[in-house]
Amino acid sequence: MPASRTIAPPGETRTIKDLLSYRIHQLANALSRGAAARYRREFDVSLMEWRTIALLGDFAPMSLKDLARQSGLDKGLASRVVAGLVERGLVRRGTAADARELALSLTPAGRKVFRGLMRAAGERDAAFRAALTEAEMECLDSAIGKLLQAARQQL
């Protein structure tokens, strides 16, 4: 969508394309598609696998329940993603303090993939940030925080 497109004033929705939530969804999809293509090509991981590896790389050990919640996946899908990563030797299942849950963490091979993924993610992030001025970045950060708060209030 061109930057010069006229957006309907607040409260006056002409089409779905005027809805803020739709525009943010379109942006998120474009960002995700680009990330998914790069991570598949360079690291042979899906977007769900990338999120799992990134979360475990930063916050392991994690239970499956916490991993699912943090990644935005339902527990069944998170379990399937983890099972695939375990099978590929990137994630290990260990015993948590609470024996009823497993503690998930990265294997040495998983840590290597994590480092590569984070490098690639950092490059992508820098390119997106370069598209905005410092003032625009500050405004965006503030707007995202406010929108997240408003969205959570509507849950």
**Average per-residue pLDDT for the chain:** 91
Structure confidence at residue 1 (pLDDT): 46
User: pLDDT confidence of 13, banded at 50, 70, 90?
Assistant: low
CATH architecture of 45-154: Orthogonal Bundle (1.10)
The DSSP secondary-structure symbol of 131 reads T
Residue (of 49, 24, 23) closest to 36 by Cα position:
49
Q: Residue type at 116?
A: G
Q: Give the domain ranges of the chain.
A: 45-154
Whether the per-residue pLDDT at 66 is higher than 70: the answer is yes
- The structure tokens 């998983």 sit at 110
Structure confidence at residue 95 (pLDDT): 77
3-state SS class at 101:
coil
Identify how many contiguous H helices and E strands the chain contains and give both numbers.
Answer: 6, 2
Q: What digits encode the pLDDT tens for the residues 117-154?
A: 999 999 999 999 999 999 999 999 999 999 999 999 99
> Are β-strands 102-106 and 91-95 bridged in parallel, bridged antiparallel, or unpaired?
antiparallel
